[in-house]
Amino acid sequence: MLDSITNFLSYFGGNSPYLDDADNIFLIIILIFSLTLIFSLIKNKSLRLVLSLSLSLFFTLQSISLYFTRSFVGYSFFVHLNLENKTNVSYVIWPIFFTSITVFFTSLFLLFYSRNILLWISKKVKLIGVYIKWVRLGMVIISLTLIFYFFNKSSIISDSNTLFSIAYTNSKPFQETLISLNMTDYVVPENVKSIATKNLVVISLESLESSFLKEPFKHLTPELSRLKEEWTYIPIKQNIGSDWTSGSIYTMLTGIPAFFGVQANTIFKSSKESYITSLSTVLSEANYELAYFCGDANFSGMKDMLYTLDFDKVMDYTSINYPVETTPFGLHDKDVFDLAKKELKGLIETKKTFGVFISTTDTHFPNGFYDYRMEAFVEKRDDPLEFMISATDYHISDIVSFLENEGVLENTVVIIIPDHLKMGDDQIFDKKSKRELYLITNSKKLNVEKPHDPKIQLDIPLMIIESLEIESNAKFLSQYITGDKVEFIKNNIAELTALNTSGFLRAKPNMFELNKISKHYDFYISDTLRFIAHAGGLINGKKYTNSLEALNASYNKGF
The span from the CA of 503 to the CA of 543, in Å, is: 34
Q: Are 111 and 56 in contact (CB under 8 A)?
A: yes
Q: Are 249 and 204 in contact (CB under 8 A)?
A: yes
Kindly list the strands in the beta sheet with 289-293, ordered across the sheet, starting from the edge strand earlier in the chain.
313-315, 289-293, 354-359, 199-205, 412-418, 437-441, 232-237, 455-456
Candidate from 62-76, 152-166, 404-418 with smallest mean pLDDT: 152-166
**What angle do the packed helices 384-405 and 333-350 form, to 10 degrees?**
10
The span from the CA of 371 to the CA of 264, in Å, is: 32
Average pLDDT over residues 381-393: 95
Classify burial at 558, counting beta carbons within 10 Å of its beta carbon; exposed 0-12, middle 13-18, buried 19 or more. middle
- Phi-psi category of 467—alpha, beta or left, where left has phi over 0 and alpha has psi -120 to 50? alpha
Predicted confidence (pLDDT) at residue 22 exceeds the cutoff of 50: no
Report the chain's C-alpha Rg in angstroms.
Answer: 26
Q: Are 405 and 385 in contact (CB under 8 A)?
A: no
Could you tell me which residues come within 8 angstroms of residue 210 by beta carbon, excluding any fewer than 6 positions away? 235, 418, 434, 435, 436, 437, 438
Residue 227: its pLDDT value, please?
Answer: 97
216: number of Cβ within 10 Å: 10
The dihedral over CA atoms of 498, 499, 502, 505, expressed in degrees to the nearest 10, equals -110
CATH class of 169-509: alpha beta
Q: Return the percentage of the chain with pLDDT > 70, whole number.
A: 69
Mean pLDDT for all residues in the chain: 81
The span from the CA of 335 to the CA of 358, in Å, is: 11
Candidate from 98-102, 296-300, 507-511 with smallest mean pLDDT: 507-511
Q: Return the percentage of the chain with pLDDT > 90, whole number.
A: 42
Distances (CA, A) of 554 to 265, 418, 512, 542, 550: 21, 32, 9, 19, 6
More confident: 116 or 336: 336
In the chain, CATH 3.40.720.10 sits at: 169-509
Q: Are 261 and 496 in contact (CB under 8 A)?
A: no
The span from the CA of 58 to the CA of 64, in Å, is: 10
The span from the CA of 470 to the CA of 287, in Å, is: 12
Q: Are 349 and 283 in contact (CB under 8 A)?
A: no
Beta bridge partners of 441: 232, 415
Q: Which amino acid is at 134?
A: W
The span from the CA of 498 to the CA of 315, in Å, is: 30
The span from the CA of 422 to the CA of 459, in Å, is: 20
Element (H, E) at 439: strand 437-441
Q: Which of 34-43, 106-115, 413-422 has the highest mean pLDDT?
A: 413-422
The span from the CA of 500 to the CA of 174, in Å, is: 9
Q: Which three-class secondary structure state does DSSP give residue 455?
A: strand
Q: Which three-class secondary structure state does DSSP give residue 475?
A: coil
In 3D, which of 238, 237, 181, 240 has the Cα closest to residue 489? 240
The span from the CA of 332 to the CA of 162, in Å, is: 34
Predicted confidence (pLDDT) at residue 9 exceeds the cutoff of 90: no
Residue 509: pLDDT band with limits 50, 70, 90? very low
The span from the CA of 364 to the CA of 514, in Å, is: 43
More confident: 76 or 186: 186
Predicted confidence (pLDDT) at residue 120 exceeds the cutoff of 90: no
Classify burial at 10, counting beta carbons within 10 Å of its beta carbon; exposed 0-12, middle 13-18, buried 19 or more. middle
Residue 17: pLDDT band with limits 50, 70, 90? very low
The span from the CA of 188 to the CA of 76, in Å, is: 28
Name the DSSP class of 423: P
